[in-house]
């Protein structure tokens, strides 16, 4: 059973397997925190988009490193914009997503 889970995680996330692990640990921390802040759907969605962008960057760096999720993000962008353009878009999405998800103010 654990071997199947291991293969599924590696297939979906590749070398970026640490992303779902960190997300699961953070989710568990929020659940057991005495007075957690309200988790908005928009914050959750932006966080997931940022994670997908991170996996796409990993896939652009090395083919297959982002797993299936990274390929689904990086391949269409690289086909449309080229590798450099795809990297630029994914880095901007990642940074913008982190600003929104962490409620960071630029001003």
Q: What is the pLDDT of residue 79?
A: 96
Distance separating the N- and C-terminal Cα atoms of the chain: 49
Which tokens belong to 80?
């449309």
- Look at the alpha carbons of 53, 61, 7, 19 in this order and tell me if their dihedral is positive or negative: negative
Q: What is the pLDDT of residue 57?
A: 95
Place of tokens 């391949």: 75
CA distance 33 to 27: 10
Per the CB < 8 A criterion, the answer to whether 78 and 61 are in contact is no
* Polymer length of the chain: 107
Q: What is the pLDDT of residue 20?
A: 87
Q: What is the pLDDT of residue 76?
A: 96
Which tokens belong to 100?
């929104």
DSSP-assigned states of every residue in 77-104: HHHHHHHHHHHHHHHHHHHHHHHHHTT-
pLDDT tens digits along 34-89:
887 777 888 888 888 999 999 999 999 998 899 999 999 999 999 999 999 999 99
């Amino acid at each position: 059973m654990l071997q199947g889970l291991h293969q599924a995680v590696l297939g979906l996330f590749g070398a970026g397997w640490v992303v779902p692990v960190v997300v699961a640990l953070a989710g568990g921390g929020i659940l057991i925190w005495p007075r957690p802040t309200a988790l908005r759907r928009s914050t959750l969605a932006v966080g997931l988009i940022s994670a997908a962008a991170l996996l796409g960057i990993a896939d652009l760096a090395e083919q297959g490193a982002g797993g299936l999720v990274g390929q689904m993000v990086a391949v269409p962008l690289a086909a449309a914009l080229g590798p450099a353009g795809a990297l630029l878009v994914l880095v901007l999405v990642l940074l913008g997503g982190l600003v929104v998800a962490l409620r960071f103010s630029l001003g």
